[in-house]
Structure 1
Amino acid sequence: MLVEPRLTAPVTLHLQGDWGQANMHRICGWIAQEMGDRAPAGSRFAIWNGRGGLDAITALREGDADISVMTPAAAASRLARAGRLDGLCALGVIGQRDRLVVAVDAALPVRTVAELAEYTGEVVVATAPDDGVNLVGFAAHKALALAGIDADRVDFRYDERPFPALEWFAAGEVNVLVQEAIMTPPWQRVERVRPVKYLPWGDEVLRGFAREGWPSAVVRAGYLPGLTEDLHTLDFSDFVVVCREDLADEVAHLATWCMIGTRRALEVQYGHLPIDRSPVTYPLVPADMAATPLPLHPAAARAYSETAASDGPLDGPLMWS
């Protein structure tokens, strides 16, 4: 049986998630509620809207947040290897299987991103901005450059989120799409209104990212409409729950324990979706949650160790079951 820890004194905690309606906010809300149930009266929990990129790190460093969520784990690994996450640590990883995919109008006479670099016709790319925060924009622009695409020759159309870009591509307003969130319905709807094909990034791009700790991944044939063979692309998976090294042990331990012990409360919010179409991969497995791209907070590591032999998450009434 899991033995529930409790905080000994009231706390005020700030968490930072996404824009407000997506998965990082759900993760923050779940952690905040479960911690609140095990905190003394007078405790307060607030969630800041964020962007889920490098702003999550900035919020921690500037003291605006105590716990932040960012994606993908590959970016956190890259930053950690470069020493840019010094002073920060992790509470865990919430799994999400995602990829950064290049889709193009099927009429374009190209089969790879390298061939797109040689194409002399009009290229209009929908993606996210490379503005120092958005990690889709960072990865897309870096990968396009590694593939030999001259940014000055390409027209870009930007949005912070993937779904406007998907709409522009489906409507024919752009002829190249570089985005993630491939498990969501808009990706499945594109081919209904526009013939599409998908381009592999190519070995030069994948090797360039691998040198910095960012792995490649595969989208299996048939996963996306019109995808007739496995697509080798860039990994864009997993949400990383991050904090500062000085987060109080009692707080870090409880937050991590809640992630382990009450994980069913998050899982059931996605149970109506097939596992391979869910933006949170369920069931959550504590050993996978503990496999973080930067070191675990010592109290978080203790929580995983203490619960390793438990029978499973707590049973009880669940809001979304």
Structure 2
Amino acid sequence: MDDKHHRKIILFIAILVVLIGCSRPLTERETTATAPAESGKSLRISSAGVGQGGFAIISAWLFRNLKPLYPDRDMWLDYHVTGTAFRDGLLLVADRKAEITLVNTHHLTAMALKGNGFMKRPIPLRAIAGLPFFDWCLFAVDAKHGIRSFADLKEKKVPLKIATGFLNDDNLVTFLLMEVLKRHGIDPEEFKRWGGQFVGSGTATLARKAYLAGEVDAIFQEAGFMPGWHADVKKRPTTFLSIEPAVARQMQEEFGWNSHTVPPNHYPGQKEEFVALDFSDWVLCVREDIEEELAYRIAQITVEKAREIDPQIATFGGTPNEFDPAMALKTSIPLHPGAIRYYREKGLLSN
């Protein structure tokens, strides 16, 4: 890590300290009951694919409001490198090393609960709230290669260098890339035999930098919403490969993973619509066996104190609107009973 990144991290930690010290938590008057003391227990929150910057801000906000209610509990957040911990963050919950987790994307929560696809075993999760935004994955290829579809790539066997997530079993983006290729009839090992390469850039930002610098020919990454794509495409004409309908149906049927149609002219020079895998929404989750009162409190904080967080500062995707409590109920897995009780009391959920 270079000095510039060190300075950013130090500055970021200093800002968090100020935020924790200066922001007003929920007071007893704002709560509906006194939270029970749980002396000797700790609360730990992990990230499952959420970038460290946004994760740290949201974790600090949550603990800043929980600490007055649970003063005897130590509260910890798990540090991770951005672009990692998609699986490992969830395993911390399964192994009882974390009680709370912030998950990117809502599709991953469904995989975790079922133990299919990217996840190799079920994770005992329950949702507290969805944090909605709109995002999708892009398969972007330098237009000079003349590849307009996955069928073209398979037929022409162009030895592309594709920037994607980290090349390990912990990266959801890389998993999706391999699934997309295989389901379009392109075996990843065969792709490498004809000269293709996978480059583990890690994050979408780093992948875009490598693409713009000419270090790679293509990108498969999330964060399709990023405005920077528009400037990049103007500098390097790009074709966006569309997921075939049969593949989109397979992903939906097997994993509950839906797709999104990007309309023409969303990006400069993009004359036709294309289908991309969805990558929307963060979900705040807990282990299913945490006490109901704690889940109630987390739901309460999420709804009543959400406006303390600037979605742009917390690096939410896209251009999120002002927080709508009704949107918190839109999750891919069941809500925790404590959260259900809170939402019913507030009239957000019917009995």
* TM-score tier after normalising by the smaller chain length: 0.7 to 0.9
Q: 1:41 to 1:301 in 2, by over 3 A?
A: same
SS at match of 1:211: helix
Answer whether contact 2:164 2:207 (CA < 8 A) is retained: yes
Answer whether contact 1:16 1:56 (CA < 8 A) is retained: yes
Q: Give 1 or 2: higher helix fraction.
A: 2
Q: Which position in structure 2 is the counterpart of 1:136?
A: 173
SS at match of 1:80: helix
Q: Which position in structure 2 is the counterpart of 1:54?
A: 87
Please tell me the residue identity of whatever aligns with 2:250.
G
Q: 1:148-178 CA distances to partner (integer Å, 9 max, x unpaired)?
A: 2231222111122222111111111111110
1:259 positional shift: 0.5
Q: Which position in structure 2 is the counterpart of 1:288?
A: 327
2:52 matches 1:9: no
Please tell me the residue identity of whatever aligns with 1:63.
R
Q: Which position in structure 2 is the counterpart of 1:298?
A: 337
Higher relative contact order (CA 8 A, sep 6+): 1
Q: Which position in structure 1 is the counterpart of 2:133?
A: 96
Q: Which position in structure 2 is the counterpart of 1:318?
A: none
Distance in 2 of aligned mates of 1:76 and 1:89: 9
Answer whether contact 1:20 1:49 (CA < 8 A) is retained: no
Please tell me the residue identity of whatever aligns with 1:69.
L
2:113 matches 1:72: no
Q: 1:302 to 1:178 in 2, by over 3 A?
A: same
- TM-score when scaled to structure 1? 0.85
Answer whether contact 1:7 1:39 (CA < 8 A) is retained: yes
Q: Which position in structure 1 is the counterpart of 2:64?
A: 33
Q: 2:203 aligns with which of 136, 161, 169?
A: 161
1:293 positional shift: 1.2
Q: 1:165-202 CA distances to partner (integer Å, 9 max, x unpaired)?
A: 11111111111110011222432331242111211011
Answer whether contact 1:114 1:201 (CA < 8 A) is retained: no
SS at match of 1:126: strand
Q: 1:20 to 1:201 in 2, by over 3 A?
A: closer
Q: 2:164 aligns with which of 127, 140, 149?
A: 127
Between stretches 75-84 and 115-124, larger displacement belongs to: 75-84
Answer whether contact 1:111 1:199 (CA < 8 A) is retained: yes
1:52 positional shift: 4.7
2:307 matches 1:264: yes
Distance in 1 of aligned mates of 2:213 and 2:160: 15
Answer whether contact 1:103 1:176 (CA < 8 A) is retained: yes
Instruction: Report the count of equivalent residues.
Output: 305
Please tell me the residue identity of whatever aligns with 1:188.
H
Q: Which position in structure 1 is the counterpart of 2:75?
A: 45
1:296 positional shift: 1.0
Q: 2:217 aligns with which of 166, 175, 180?
A: 175
- TM-score when scaled to structure 2? 0.78
Q: 1:20 to 1:231 in 2, by over 3 A?
A: closer
Q: 1:76 to 1:270 in 2, by over 3 A?
A: same
Q: 1:6 to 1:239 in 2, by over 3 A?
A: farther
**CA RMSD, Structure 1 to Structure 2 (Å):** 2.7
* Contiguous gaps of at least 5 residues in structure 1: 311-321
Distance in 2 of aligned mates of 1:290 and 1:119: 46
